[in-house]
Amino acid sequence: MTGPAPAALGILAGGGTLPGRVAAAAQAAGRRVFLVGLEGFAEPAVLAPFPHEAARIGAAGRILGLLRANACRDLVLVGPVRRPSLLDLRPDAEGARLLARIGRAAFTGDDGLLAAIVRVLGEEGFSVIGAHEILTEVVAPKGLLTRSGPDATALADIARGVAVTRALGAVDVGQGCVVQQGIVLAVEAIEGTDAMLARAATLRRPGPGGVLVKLVKPGQDRRADLPTIGIRTVRAAAEAGVRGLAFEAGGTILAEREAMVAAADAIGLFLLGVDPNEGYQ
């Protein structure tokens, strides 16, 4: 007589390559995986090598049913997902029930909503863990990763950006901003980093380029929505006239670290892992 199947790692997959990298790392460690690709966000080619199904983001009944049918207990939420409006969400019956339990957090910032989702998933018998706990090598280290480094002006802009981003995060608005010569060109909200950089490009001033600063929100649950940057961020920053990226060491996911560093070195940008509790001037 066979016992129950050992618990698998469930991966709720948004966009990008990170869901596949988390799945591959878990498999290499001897763990079974099952991915639920969120329609409109998850990339089919990333899901293809692993056991998976696709589901609409509002189809909570289908999503939970798939996870339970595949003996998932631990869950990882990974990959960017654009927050849908309630009109677009079209929740199924289970989704409406869970949405009612999420309550007012559905109308707050992303961090408040994610914290409520993690809580509700826990009440449903799942344990949410961070992608960085599976894929440890993607977490940003402290210090300079590139040949180029910040000068005194860039260090002052980083200090300004840290203060601004912490204030944004404290009210659950965003995780980043662009600062040039002490002037805040753009702050990140629901539009995301790439759109913020595109806006900053239209506002750049003559003289030394600015910096992009990305930090974890104060008090943020690190099991979901850690700041993530990749090679596309480096290229978008260069197009926006930004000359360097500063990100929280130990709290930022570098999606394609080797490619990022190579691209930044080729362009002449700096990549710097920072401790937001330290000074930079």
Exposure string (b/e) for 7-40, b if CB count within 10 Å is 16 or more?
Answer: ebbbbbbbbbebbbbbbebbeeeeebbbbbbbee
**The pLDDT of residue 141:** 93
Question: Half-sphere exposure of 79 toward its Cβ, with a 13 Å CA cutoff?
Answer: 25
**The pLDDT of residue 183:** 96
Amino acid residing at 37: G
In the beta sheet, which residues pair with residue 72?
8
Helix axes 231-239, 257-267, angle to 10 degrees: 20
* Residue numbers in the chain where pLDDT is lower than 50: 1-3
Please give the domain boundaries of the chain with CATH numbers for all domains: 8-134 (3.40.50.20), 139-274 (3.40.140.80)
Question: Which pTM value belongs to this model?
Answer: 0.77
**The pLDDT of residue 161:** 96
**The pLDDT of residue 71:** 93
**The pLDDT of residue 6:** 59
**The pLDDT of residue 1:** 43
